[in-house]
A and B are shown apart, each in its own frame.
Chain A
Amino acid sequence: MSLPTFDNALAERLVKKALKEVADFPDNANISSFSFQHFNDFHKLLFASALKKEVISIKDGSSHYDVVLNPNIINNWSTVQDCINYLVNNQQMMFRNTSKVQL
């Protein structure tokens, strides 16, 4: 059971989808420089919730991705690029394998 890893491009797509829950921006915009500075608490909450759902929805066979998120982590992000970097570096895989594993 190999551990697939998602890259910068996939992380950016997930963040883009989550951002659409709380904001509008051109589809072709370079989102990496967008700032979280003017998000109020409610924007942050909805964005974080959407981001977590997007990450979990990425499946690989019977496994799915996960990421640890909490307010302290999110408040440390200054720009969207910080968020993307965090996802790439802290992605987790949750296994859902019921078959026998031979090693």
Chain B
Amino acid sequence: MKSLPKKTLLSFFFIFLLSISVSAQNYLDSLRIDINTINSNDIYYTLVLEKKVDQAATGAANTNNGFGFSLVQRSDKATLFNGTFSDISVGVWNVSFKISLSNSEKDLINRLQDGEEKAVIETTADLIVKFTDGTEYRFTPREIKELSNRFDGLNAEQTRLLNEFNSGRSFEAKNNFDFGREVNQADTTDAEYIFSFDVIRPFLKIAGEDVFFSARGAISTDPSNTLNQTEFFLSYKFSGKEKIFAEIGRKGTQDFSTNSIRANLGLEFLAPNLIDLTNGAPRLRLKPYVKAGVGFHKNFEVDNAFNNEELNLVGFFDTYYYIPIDKNLFAITNASGSYSDSYAGDDKFLFQYDLTIGYQTPVDAKVLFKVESGENEVNRTSDTRFLIGLLVDFIK
């Protein structure tokens, strides 16, 4: 029998591929990659479907032993992940292949980035989707492999989230900036401007865990104000015990004339609500946030709270408390304190706080008044300042 020419065979092959695409395309709306970083790190290769899903099953004789899927690197055929039917998630409009990542599989994230070499999904049996209109579609292993080849891969933001945040650390990174106008108490016709910042970013990895760099503080056009302090810290949260942290860094004044080194070990937790000022109004009363621990503090100058250059043991706390008042008002207080037997003088307890009074609208909050006061532990000076009438959006 005369064999078919190569060209004809090639045409048949392309027609076959086209027919796969066209038939699956009738049911497929789009392809999407979703990522979860809460309680676990997971990547979902999602087929978004044209019709509402009613049922999902497999043509395999047994769903667990007869159906499996693998994420396979296209070039070297290396298997990156093996899943079962239990790793198929079905939504109202979609079917997803869930790739669960453990800490030991972090390299996988980088391999699945967009622009890197692609991985495809291979299944051992058909995946059948029944729709609410009574129709169904049977995705064959060949179709799924062909479709999975069209996924773009993880985008830059997804890669960043998965790489930077292990379970339980998802909200660590932030970039908060605030700008305010200060009342000059010596001359009320004069004004000073304050810029405050709170930035946390992943910095390096130790034993596979992220170490974060943080910069916090406030600087103003009045550099002599002792409330203007800056802090630069490296912090580490113990794996599996996200509430326990260790950090080391520099604390000091805005102009760097006074500096100290601080190493802390502590715990973060939410405390029970202490007061209820809602007067019965149905407001959300957040539990106060507390960060407390012990630290070692060393100053570079002798003219300071400790009046020495020794390594001093300090107990400390930081709190954040949002207090709704009546129907529309609120107070927010950030307070911090520290205690050390080594503090110079009789007063062994230092305390700083700020208090914001604001008005809550349905869409945002307006600051009416803010006061900052306290004694800092670097040079033991105290100050108070008031910010009024800002009426700007608060915490966007």
Chain A residues at the B interface, C-beta cutoff of 8 Å: 1-3, 5, 19, 22-26, 28-31, 33-35, 37-46, 48-49, 51-53, 66, 68-72, 78, 89-101, 103
Given A22-B287, A68-B44, A92 and B61 contact (CB-CB distance below 8 Å): no
Please determine whether A23 and B285 come into contact, CB atoms closer than 8 angstroms. Answer: yes
Q: How distant is the Cα of A7 from the Cα of B101 in the complex, in angstroms?
A: 30
Most B CB atoms within 10 A — which of A51, A66, A91, A96? A66
A-B CB contact pairs (8 Å), 17 listed: A23-B286, A23-B287, A24-B276, A25-B282, A42-B171, A43-B287, A52-B38, A68-B36, A70-B161, A70-B170, A89-B92, A93-B89, A94-B87, A95-B63, A98-B62, A101-B58, A103-B128
Q: Which residue of A lies closest to B93 (CB)?
A: A89
Contacts A66-B98, A95-B85 supplied; 7 other A-B pairs, CB < 8 Å = A22-B286, A25-B282, A38-B365, A42-B270, A43-B270, A45-B171, A52-B39
Within the complex, what minimum Cβ distance (angstroms) separates B39 from chain A?
5
B59 within 8 A of A: yes
B289 within 8 A of A: yes
Q: How distant is the Cα of A41 from the Cα of B172 in the complex, in angstroms?
A: 7
Chain B residues at the A interface, C-beta cutoff of 8 Å: 34-39, 42, 44, 53-64, 85-92, 96, 98, 128, 136, 157, 161, 165, 168-174, 242, 268, 270, 273, 276, 282-287, 289, 320, 322, 330, 332, 360, 362-365, 395
Please determine whether B37 and A71 come into contact, CB atoms closer than 8 angstroms. Answer: yes
List of 6 A-B pairs having minimum Cβ-Cβ separation, nearest first: A29-B282, A41-B171, A92-B89, A69-B38, A38-B322, A101-B57
Residues of B within 8 A of A26 (CB): 282
Q: How distant is the Cα of A94 from the Cα of B63 in the complex, in angstroms?
A: 13
Within the complex, what minimum Cβ distance (angstroms) separates A79 from chain B?
9
Please determine whether A103 and B35 come into contact, CB atoms closer than 8 angstroms. Answer: no
Q: Which residue of B lies closest to A26 (CB)?
A: B282
Q: Which residue of A lies closest to B35 (CB)?
A: A70
Residues of B within 8 A of A1 (CB): 55-57
Please determine whether A70 and B37 come into contact, CB atoms closer than 8 angstroms. Answer: yes
Q: How distant is the Cα of A100 from the Cα of B289 in the complex, in angstroms?
A: 50
Q: How distant is the Cα of A27 from the Cα of B244 in the complex, in angstroms?
A: 32
Q: Which residue of A lies closest to B132 (CB)?
A: A3
Contact of A38 among B55, B161, B332 (CB under 8 A): B332
Please determine whether B38 and A103 come into contact, CB atoms closer than 8 angstroms. Answer: no
Q: How distant is the Cα of A28 from the Cα of B170 in the complex, in angstroms?
A: 31
Please determine whether A5 and B92 come into contact, CB atoms closer than 8 angstroms. Answer: yes
Please determine whether A71 and B171 come into contact, CB atoms closer than 8 angstroms. Answer: yes
Please determine whether A24 and B170 come into contact, CB atoms closer than 8 angstroms. Answer: no
Given A52-B38, A70-B35, A71-B37, A92 and B96 contact (CB-CB distance below 8 Å): yes
Contact of A93 among B91, B161, B284, B363 (CB under 8 A): B91
Given A48-B38, A68-B35, A101-B57, A95 and B289 contact (CB-CB distance below 8 Å): no
Please determine whether B89 and A94 come into contact, CB atoms closer than 8 angstroms. Answer: yes
Q: How distant is the Cα of A100 from the Cα of B58 in the complex, in angstroms?
A: 9
Residues of A within 8 A of B282 (CB): 25-26, 28-30
Q: How distant is the Cα of A33 from the Cα of B324 in the complex, in angstroms?
A: 14
Q: How distant is the Cα of A72 from the Cα of B57 in the complex, in angstroms?
A: 32
Given A35-B284, A93-B89, A95-B88, A40 and B289 contact (CB-CB distance below 8 Å): yes
Residues of B within 8 A of A5 (CB): 92
Please determine whether A25 and B57 come into contact, CB atoms closer than 8 angstroms. Answer: no
Please determine whether B171 and A44 come into contact, CB atoms closer than 8 angstroms. Answer: yes
Please determine whether A49 and B39 come into contact, CB atoms closer than 8 angstroms. Answer: yes
Please determine whether B57 and A46 come into contact, CB atoms closer than 8 angstroms. Answer: no
Q: How distant is the Cα of A91 from the Cα of B64 in the complex, in angstroms?
A: 23
Please determine whether A39 and B38 come into contact, CB atoms closer than 8 angstroms. Answer: no
Please determine whether B57 and A103 come into contact, CB atoms closer than 8 angstroms. Answer: yes
Please determine whether A39 and B286 come into contact, CB atoms closer than 8 angstroms. Answer: yes
Q: How distant is the Cα of A24 from the Cα of B113 in the complex, in angstroms?
A: 42
Please determine whether A93 and B90 come into contact, CB atoms closer than 8 angstroms. Answer: yes
Please determine whether B270 and A46 come into contact, CB atoms closer than 8 angstroms. Answer: yes
Residues of A within 8 A of B322 (CB): 38
Q: How distant is the Cα of A1 from the Cα of B326 in the complex, in angstroms?
A: 50
Given A25-B282, A37-B365, A95 and B161 contact (CB-CB distance below 8 Å): no
Residues of B within 8 A of A46 (CB): 270
Within the complex, what minimum Cβ distance (angstroms) separates B283 from chain A?
7
Most A CB atoms within 10 A — which of B44, B171, B282, B362? B171
Residues of B within 8 A of A91 (CB): 91-92
